[in-house]
Structure 1
């Protein structure tokens, strides 16, 4: 039984570390796109929502926008971005920021480095507390099994 209380928290820690990597990677991508200085006019070609259910009562709805733009070298790029403004509809023209080497990682979010840093920091703080709790569970399980 003690093994179970050690293995499950280790899996949760691995999941939290993966989540931290994803958060940091996307934050770096958005920040790099903003600082690249390369922009283009894009058209919102589609807007849709996805719904995720966890349990009987919790439902999370995510708003997606699909944008299409042409890079300076003439390539047509289409990308999907989550959590954009709910007032944006198909046909709207927006400014996108992108890196010339990876235009598919563009963002239509308005540059807000402070907001990006705060949201990234909050996500990492949550994951750190989550990992600390999982380590606490491992310590408690192992201290009980040593008696």
Structure 2
């Protein structure tokens, strides 16, 4: 029983740390693409919406775009990106940025450093609060038993 009270919070804390690292890595990669990335013209191949929630919760939807572009050395890449401009439809041409060493990572999002920093900070703060809550639960469970 005691091990269970430590195992579950430990797994949640590990998940929070992993999630925070992934969020920070994604933000740094996006920032690097905006600052140092090469540019190319991409064509929007498709758009679709992912919807979540329902029943007793609020419904939310996220717009996704599928883009295809050609790098400077002639390689073609496709990528799917969430949260793009809602006025872009299939067949439109947009500018993308990509890293020469990782052309499979590209973005058509316009640079918005403040939004990127704020969103990353909020998500990391949420994961931090969740991790601290798990640690406090484990400490209080230890002192109670």
| TM-score normalised by structure 2 residue count | 0.90
| CA distance in 1: counterparts of 2:71 and 2:111, whole angstroms | 19
Question: Paired residues, what number?
Answer: 145
Moved more, 15-24 or 80-89: 80-89
What does 1:104-115 correspond to in 2, within 5 Å? Answer: 104-115=104-115
What does 1:62-141 correspond to in 2, within 5 Å? Answer: 62-141=62-141
1:51 deviates by 3.2
CA spacing shift, 1:100–1:24, aligned 2, 3 Å: same
SS of equivalent to 2:91? coil
Match of 2:21 in 1: 21
1:134 deviates by 0.7
1:7 deviates by 1.4
What does 1:1-40 correspond to in 2, within 5 Å? Answer: 1-40=1-40
List runs of 5+ in structure 1 lacking aligned partners. none
List runs of 5+ in structure 2 lacking aligned partners. none
Give the CA RMSD over aligned residues.
Answer: 1.8
| TM-score normalised by structure 1 residue count | 0.89
